[in-house]
Amino acid sequence: MTTNSSPQLWLYDTTLRDGTQREGLSVSIEDKLRIARRLDQLGIPFIEGGWPGANPKDVQFFWQLQEDPLKQAEIVAFCSTRRPNSTAATEPMLQDILAAGTRWVTIFGKSWDLHVTTGLKTTLEENLAMIRDTIEYLRSQGRRIIYDAEHWFDGYKHNRDYALQTLETAIASGAEWLVLCDTNGGTLPHEISQIVQDVISHLSFVISQEPMTEDKGQRTIPQIGIHTHNDSEMAVANAIAAVMAGAKMVQGTINGYGERCGNANLCSLIPNLQLKAGYSCITEDQLTQLTEASRFVSEVVNLAPDEHAPFVGRSAFAHKGGIHVSAVERNPLTYEHIQPEQVGNRRRIVISEQSGLSNVLAKARSFGIELDQQKAEAREILQRLKDLESEGFQFEAAEASFVLLMHEALGGRQKFFEVKGFQVHCDLIEGKETSNALATVKVAVDGKNILEAAEGNGPVAALDAALRKALVNFYPQIATFDLTDYKVRILNGHTGTAAKTRVLVESGNGRQRWTTVGVSTNILAASYQAVVEGLEYGLLLHSQAEAALKASS
């Protein structure tokens, strides 16, 4: 836990620039604005918005933030040094940077002589002039500069003296931050530590040798930052190693998004640095928003969240083995390295064929059901669970179905409706592709039989529509239920078309989501089980909410 005396670390988020270079990730201007405002709420001090002038989207993004600025974060424009054999004052891309209207600008330049001679096809001296001219020009226009030393660690290892010259040039030109970039992601933590320490020592010595001036006194070394990529699965470890060696700024992205294998994941870096290393990154209240922020960003960029991500993943504090669950029930420290609530996550007890009685008791308690382990019902639920999972059911991913199973074992499963039967007809016309389907269902509610039919673009959609049509007059709240996801898995593929199928259906009501499961050798029968239980569980949630409201009034 951080205190007022904890050393300050500056977080720099590059999700909106480096993160969007991830393959398969694309965002609109509106998406970028939503993410920027969410990061602002999270307390990130520096948010890199993109490269103004590189594309119309980034230009409009910066314009809109000029009209409606962020609350506390500095929005940062990103750009390279000027081109070889030109001048910064006549460089069109730098005019776009100035037009973005940001107080801070991040400029990246070449540290590796290989990139200078092969990539830029210029001389080492001209590269230093490019760094100097670009930073001095932007400084003359009132901008504050963060200098990203691209390919720093590879450049240092290949030609230390020249790499250090590029940093000395950036300092002399007015850069306030020097960020060392492991752009190829191939450096190991022990190398990061040694090199960062050497950089700080070298620059401190160089500055100490400069003569003092009457108006400014002795110049101080700019702060050092770190920017790591994950190509060796070392981005988070390398960033932490750099901080331990003296870096004061950490650059990364939410969920580790980025080109190739991604960038350092701020969702892991922030809690590690703040809760374990004792640095101050954001407030404790903001830290409790981390899980929600991670999921918000994944939702906006339309990528499934990593359920097994450290700290913020759904499974980060999930306990499945019976011995684990029993121990966690007594003292969470036995199997949890932090309290999940510190990062806005929660503990989950997973139910599966590996479960012991402690799993069942803990899971029931999380849903407000108190079971007595001395009574037969608890062991009956456990046995029923294991029998069904041996048939192919999977309750660790379908907690709503498990809740219904518990209510049934306890004799308290409410019968909102009963399905008497259903038929599904699909149109297959030779030479013409079609997915039209017609479903007919017969249900009973309070002894009254209802027969309804509905069409859908597939048999499951048609069946779901027919059930809703039959029930909505009795339960109007069904109109708010959505089928949000549908997953099918073949359990024993070696049996061919006779294979057993497991269907997981995720449903929601705008506030909550729940998952139900069905298993059968008939994919429609498995889908029917999952869809019906999804409606039933949604009605159970609604009735429980109404009961709680009446009790409170």
pLDDT score of 105 more than 60: yes
| Residue carrying the six token digits 């040694």 | 194
CA 187 to chain centre: 25
The confidence score (pLDDT) of residue 410 equals: 80
Average pLDDT over residues 41-55: 94
pLDDT score of 123 more than 60: yes
Question: Cβ neighbours of residue 429 under 8 Å, at least 6 residues apart?
Answer: none
The confidence score (pLDDT) of residue 434 equals: 60
Mean per-residue pLDDT over the chain, rounded: 89
How confident is the model over 502-547, as pLDDT tens digits? Answer: 888 989 888 888 889 899 988 889 999 999 999 999 999 998 888 8
347 near 332, Cβ under 8 Å?
yes
How confident is the model over 209-220, as pLDDT tens digits? Answer: 877 666 555 567
pLDDT score of 363 more than 80: no
Give the phi and the psi of residue 356 in degrees, each rounded to 5: -105, 180
360 near 381, Cβ under 8 Å?
yes
All structural domains of the chain with their residue ranges: 10-209+220-300, 318-390, 418-552
279 near 1, Cβ under 8 Å?
no
Could you tell me the two tokens for 52?
């103004």
pLDDT score of 469 more than 80: yes
The confidence score (pLDDT) of residue 513 equals: 85
pLDDT score of 432 more than 90: no
* pTM of the model as a whole: 0.72
Task: State the amino acid at position 37 in one-letter form.
Answer: R
Burial class (CB in 10 A: 0-12, 13-18, 19+), 201: exposed
Q: Which CATH number fits domain 418-552: 3.30.160.270, 2.60.40.420, 1.10.940.10, 3.50.50.60?
A: 3.30.160.270
Q: Of 407, 460, 388, 344, which is closest to residue 41 (Cα–Cα)?
A: 344
Question: Cβ neighbours of residue 160 under 8 Å, at least 6 residues apart?
Answer: none
The confidence score (pLDDT) of residue 179 equals: 98
DSSP 254: G
Question: Cβ neighbours of residue 325 under 8 Å, at least 6 residues apart?
Answer: 319, 349, 355, 356, 358, 359, 362
DSSP codes joined into one string, 362-401: HHHHHTT----TTSHHHHHHHHHHHHHHHTT---TT-HHH
Fold agreement between 10-209+220-300 and 418-552: no
Burial class (CB in 10 A: 0-12, 13-18, 19+), 374: exposed
How confident is the model over 22-39, as pLDDT tens digits? Answer: 999 989 999 999 999 999
Q: Which CATH architecture has domain 10-209+220-300?
A: Alpha-Beta Barrel (3.20)
Beta-carbon-side half-sphere exposure of residue 362 (alpha carbons within 13 Å): 24
Helix (H, G, I), strand (E, B) or coil at 253: strand
The confidence score (pLDDT) of residue 371 equals: 76
The confidence score (pLDDT) of residue 388 equals: 79
The confidence score (pLDDT) of residue 98 equals: 97
